Amino acid sequence: MPGASAFRQTAPPGIQLYNARFISARSQHAIKHNQKIVNNHFRKDWQRRVRTHFDQPGKKASRRVARQAKAAALAPRPVDKLRPIVRCPTIKYNRKVRAGRGFTLTELKEAGIARPLARTIGISVDHRRQNLSEESLAINVARLKAYRERLILLPRKSNAPKKGDTKTDISQINRAATISSVMPIAPTDLAVKEIQKSEMPAPIEGGAYAALRAARSNKRYQGARDKRARDKAEAESAAKK
C-alpha cells in the first residue's frame, strides 16, 4: 500500500523532537569516563532551609568580647603558645616560612628544655615532626633560647618559689598579650639575586652527571672489587708456597 510505505519512511514528529533533545543534552553535558549516572533530586523544600547570617555583626562583637575575657583571665600569661619556624610543603611554596605545630624533641633537647616542662611554660611540642636539615634545627633552637631568656615564671606559691621562678616585681616589666607580637616570624628573602662571575662555584671536571654516576658506580661495586683484590692476593700467596 502506498500509504503504508509513506508512513514507514516518515517517523512521528514527537520521536524526532525527543531524539534531538536527547542528543543535544548528551553533547552538552556528557559524563566522561566510567562514572555513575547522575540522578539529582531537587524536590526538597529548600526555601525553609536557607541559612542566613544576619547576626554576623553581633557575633563579631561577641567574639571580640570573648577574646578580651580570655586574655584577662590568663593575664599576665599570653593567650597563645610559642610555635616553631617551618617551611611550607611542596616545591611551589617551600620558599615561604610559617608557624608550625610544635617543636621537635631534638630541638627541645638542644635548647636544654625538658619535654614535660615545655608544655607548662607555653611551648608547643610536636613529637611527630622531624628535623631534615641543620639550618631548621639551628633556627628553632635559637628561637627557644631567646624565648627562655625573655620568659618570666611566676611561682605558684609566693612564699615557696621553685628553681627558675622569677622573684622580681612584674609590675615594672612590660608584659605581652601574645607571643607572636613579641617574637614574630619574619619572611625570608629567597629571591634570585645577581652575583659576580668570580663568585660562581668552579665547574666539575667532566660534568656533574658523570661525577655522580662514577660515585654511584664506585659505591655499588666496592665490595666486588675488594673481594677480587683479596682473592688475587690469596692466589699469589698460595702460588709462592
What digits encode the pLDDT tens for the residues 100-159? 999 999 999 999 999 999 999 999 999 999 999 999 999 999 999 999 999 888 887 777
Q: Is pLDDT larger for residue 35 or for residue 5?
A: 35
Over residues 192-211, the mean pLDDT reads 86
SS3 string, 12-74, reads CHHHHHHHHHHHHHHHHCCCCCCCCCCCCCCCCCHHHCCCCCCCHHHHHHHHHHHHHHHHHHH
Give the pLDDT confidence score for residue 24 in this predicted structure.
45
DSSP-assigned states of every residue in 157-174: STTS--TT---S-GGGS-
Lowest-pLDDT range, 44-53, 117-126, 228-237?
44-53
175/143 Cα distance (integer angstroms): 19
